[in-house]
């Protein structure tokens, strides 16, 4: 790591998340602050293979802190998974004089960074960006807070119509194989039941709970379901099952989909992205590599990339208990 870093490349990879632009801005401006050059790499690893680079200065990131998505675009790259693809990418980086990389993305992006570093020795630093909040080594990933607020706002609107018509709504939220988004937004939106992959409630328990709600005088219900939940294969099959077994319920399904990934980032995500960007660049300049920047106990901290990729995020047991009590 003795080589002095004069130019840092930054890219976004994998699914987009609100706050990615704020992180790009932070990386670019931190580089400018320390008087080193910064290069934006378009379309993630695919753009690296194709040499799709652009020099970025502090003014080129004006007015992006408040925008969702990523100005550098994101793409999934099959070619980067091959040795030849990575070799091509490395040659472009060498030609552009890029000495180190900041990768904003999820565990797939970090795996790519690990392999790339092992092969070519280029220092890499990761910033976690995904609405799923499923990366080990940080209590919050970029975009998670914004997605929570988006989901709660939408469920509030669904509740208006659910209560007007005495309906039962199944609301499916994103989260891949992790229930963080469903659990937190479910509690925040006052859902009657929350189904997440980490806790297999079983169909009988769901029916029992809905039956209880009906008996206790609840005329409408909201059930939040994580997309990776194992209980009902998919949300529409779950609806059919309830229709069959509890015909007194008028059931509707709402799949929130990609709206959860968009929108202006919350203040929390903007501040977090700014902190992560500064830490990533400073860590590279200190000679560190193969770490992910994260938030642990409200402090910005580094976790080895390998742990961030392999580690599992735990669901908060206390929140499960709160959710249980709140659905009384």
What are the start-end ranges of the E strands in 184-324?
Answer: 193-195, 221-226, 250-255, 291-296, 299-304
Structure confidence by residue, pLDDT tens digits, 1-44:
447 999 999 999 999 999 999 999 999 999 999 999 999 999 99
**Entry pTM:** 0.93
Please give the average per-residue pLDDT across 150-154, as a whole number: 96
Compute the CA torsion angle 77, 80, 82, 85 (nearest 10 deg).
120
* Model confidence at 235: pLDDT above 70: yes
Q: Could you give the CA distance from residue 135 to residue 137 in angstroms, rounded to a whole number? A: 6
Structure confidence by residue, pLDDT tens digits, 262-303:
999 999 999 999 999 999 999 999 999 999 999 999 999 999
Sequence spans of domains, the chain: 7-143+265-310, 145-261
Our separate counts of H helices and E strands in the chain read: 11, 11
**Per-residue confidence (pLDDT) for residue 234, from 0 to 100:** 79
**Per-residue confidence (pLDDT) for residue 228, from 0 to 100:** 72
Cβ atoms of 28 and 38 within 8 Å: the answer is: yes
Q: Could you give the CA distance from residue 194 to residue 197 in angstroms, rounded to a whole number? A: 10
The encoded tokens of residue 109 equal: 């992006």
Please give the average per-residue pLDDT across 196-225, as a whole number: 81
**Per-residue confidence (pLDDT) for residue 230, from 0 to 100:** 58
- The set of catalytic residues is 132
What are the start-end ranges of the E strands in 149-200?
Answer: 167-173, 193-195
* Model confidence at 220: pLDDT above 80: no
Query: Over the chain, what is the mean pLDDT?
Result: 92
**Per-residue confidence (pLDDT) for residue 118, from 0 to 100:** 97
CATH class given for the domain over 7-143+265-310: alpha beta
Which three-class secondary structure state does DSSP give residue 283? helix
**Per-residue confidence (pLDDT) for residue 231, from 0 to 100:** 58
Cβ atoms of 206 and 231 within 8 Å: the answer is: yes
* Model confidence at 229: pLDDT above 70: no
Higher pLDDT, 311 or 302: 302
The pLDDT > 90 percentage for the chain reads 72
Tell me, yes or no, if the two domains 7-143+265-310 and 145-261 fold the same way. yes
Please give the average per-residue pLDDT across 121-125, as a whole number: 97
HSE at residue 100, side-chain half, CA atoms within 13 A, is: 30
Give the bridge partners for 142, in sequence order.
Answer: 129
Higher pLDDT, 326 or 28: 28
* Model confidence at 232: pLDDT above 60: no
Structure confidence by residue, pLDDT tens digits, 77-88:
999 999 999 999
Structure confidence by residue, pLDDT tens digits, 36-77:
999 999 999 999 999 999 999 999 999 999 999 999 999 889
**Per-residue confidence (pLDDT) for residue 1, from 0 to 100:** 42
**Per-residue confidence (pLDDT) for residue 204, from 0 to 100:** 79
* Model confidence at 213: pLDDT above 90: no
CATH topology for 145-261 is: Rossmann fold (3.40.50)
């Amino acid at each position: 790591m003795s080589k002095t870093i004069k130019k840092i490349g930054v890219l976004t990879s994998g699914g987009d998340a609100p706050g990615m632009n704020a992180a790009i801005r932070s990386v670019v401006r931190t580089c400018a602050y320390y008087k080193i050059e910064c290069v934006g790499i378009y379309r993630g690893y695919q753009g690296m293979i194709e040499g799709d680079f652009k020099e970025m200065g502090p003014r080129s990131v004006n007015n992006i802190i408040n925008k969702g998505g990523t100005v550098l675009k994101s793409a999934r790259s099959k070619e980067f998974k091959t040795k030849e693809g990575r070799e091509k990418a490395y040659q472009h980086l060498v030609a552009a004089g890029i000495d180190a990389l900041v990768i904003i993305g999820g565990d797939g992006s970090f795996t790519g960074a690990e392999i790339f570093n092992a092969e070519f020795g280029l220092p890499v630093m990761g910033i976690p960006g995904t609405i799923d909040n499923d990366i080990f080594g940080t209590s919050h990933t970029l975009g998670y807070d914004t997605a929570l607020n988006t989901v709660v706002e939408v469920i509030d609107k669904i509740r208006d119509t659910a209560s007007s018509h005495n309906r039962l709504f199944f609301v499916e939220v994103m989260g891949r194989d992790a229930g963080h988004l469903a659990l937190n937004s479910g509690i925040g939106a006052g859902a009657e039941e929350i189904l997440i992959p980490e806790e297999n409630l079983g169909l009988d328990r769901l029916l029992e709970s809905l039956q209880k709600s009906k008996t206790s005088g609840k005329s409408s219900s909201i059930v939040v379901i994580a997309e990776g939940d194992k209980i009902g294969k998919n949300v529409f099959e779950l609806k059919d099952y309830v229709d069959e077994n509890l015909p007194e319920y008028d059931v509707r399904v709402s799949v929130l989909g990609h709206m959860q990934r968009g929108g202006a980032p919350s203040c929390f995500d903007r501040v977090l992205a700014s902190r992560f960007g500064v830490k990533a660049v400073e860590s590279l300049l200190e000679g560190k590599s193969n770490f992910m920047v994260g938030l642990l106990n409200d402090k910005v901290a580094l976790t080895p990339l390998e742990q961030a990729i392999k580690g599992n995020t735990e669901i908060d047991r206390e929140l499960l208990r709160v959710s249980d009590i709140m659905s009384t």
